[in-house]
Amino acid sequence: MIKGFIFDLDGVITDTAELHYEAWKSLADEMGWKFDRDVNDKLRGISRMDSIKVILDHNKTALEESKLEELATKKNDIYVASLDHMTPEDYLPGAKELLTHLRAEGFSVALGSASKNAIKVLQQLNANGYFDVIGDGNSVSKSKPAPDIFLYGSEKMSLQPDECIVFEDAESGIDAAKAGGFHSVGIGPEDRLGHADLRFDTMAEATLFEVKAHFKE
Ligand code: B16
Ligand code: MG
């Protein structure tokens, strides 16, 4: 029986992927690195330090760890500054409605994000009240595709993984959900999320009615 939901943040609740793109692009331009939206797509759900390594691999470049940390911090400063413009109008269509519906029906709800900036994003959206548990990039050390962030959420909700549905927009996020024994809903295209138990192109289609029908609740 489904008792809980665990939501990824970037790409599920709000579209910060675009802000991450702009911040990485700004750093890449300054460094003379190649960076485009296809590379940005590979950064969905993975940590900041893993992201900069993916960008360097794409550029067939290597840098020492301390330099990587310095540059990742620079990108983060650009990203965090851009969050100041985010408002409670910036939920992805359908996300706020689903969260409201889950609250009304008494489901447990956790956040399961790789971002170390998740608290700030939730504050900007005024979304804290929708979550019983906040799992973010500071909660666990192993990032997706390891299942740790979702296991953190289910444990804090006192639920078993098979009592929870994970919502994710990242290939690595669905991999993480499956590795932990969770049910999964992918938000995005088939070629990225075809391995999810259930998939919608956008959050607007992911109503509680549709989800319950699939998981026979
Ligand atoms: P930060 P999610 C992830 O959030 C993003 O998808 C990913 O692109 C980003 O690199 C990662 O957070 C770390 O973010 O630099 O803010 O700590 O999708 O897991 O909610
Ligand atoms: Mg995401």
What is the distance in A from the centroid of ligand 2 to the CA of 12?
6
This model of the complex carries an ipTM of 0.93
Report d(CA 217, CA 209) in Å as an integer. Answer: 10
For residue 20, give the ligand 1 atom closest to its CA. Answer: 8
pTM: 0.94
First-residue to last-residue Cα distance in the chain: 7
Ligand 1 site, CB within 6 A: 8-11, 20, 43-48, 51, 76, 113-117, 137, 170
For residue 40, give the ligand 1 atom closest to its CA. Answer: 8
Q: So what's the pLDDT on residue 217?
A: 59
Question: What residue type is assigned to position 156 of the chain?
Answer: K
Whose CA is closest to atom 8 on ligand 1?
Answer: 44
Angle at 120 between CA 119 and CA 121, to 5 degrees: 90
Active site (catalytic) residues: 8, 10
Mutate-to-test residue for ligand 1 from 12, 13, 39, 48, highest number of ligand atoms within 8 A of CB:
48
10: β partners: 14
C-beta of residue 109 within 8 angstroms of C-beta of residue 132 = yes
What is the distance in A from the centroid of ligand 1 to the CA of 140?
13
User: Residue 150's closest CA among 128, 172, 117?
Assistant: 172
What is the distance in A from the centroid of ligand 1 to the CA of 217?
31
For the chain, 217 residues long, give each residue's pLDDT as a single digit of tens: 999 999 999 999 999 988 999 999 999 999 999 999 999 988 988 899 999 999 999 999 999 999 999 999 999 999 999 999 999 999 999 999 999 999 999 999 999 999 999 999 999 999 999 999 999 999 999 989 999 999 999 999 999 999 999 999 999 999 999 999 999 999 999 999 999 999 999 999 999 999 999 998 5
Q: So what's the pLDDT on residue 216?
A: 81
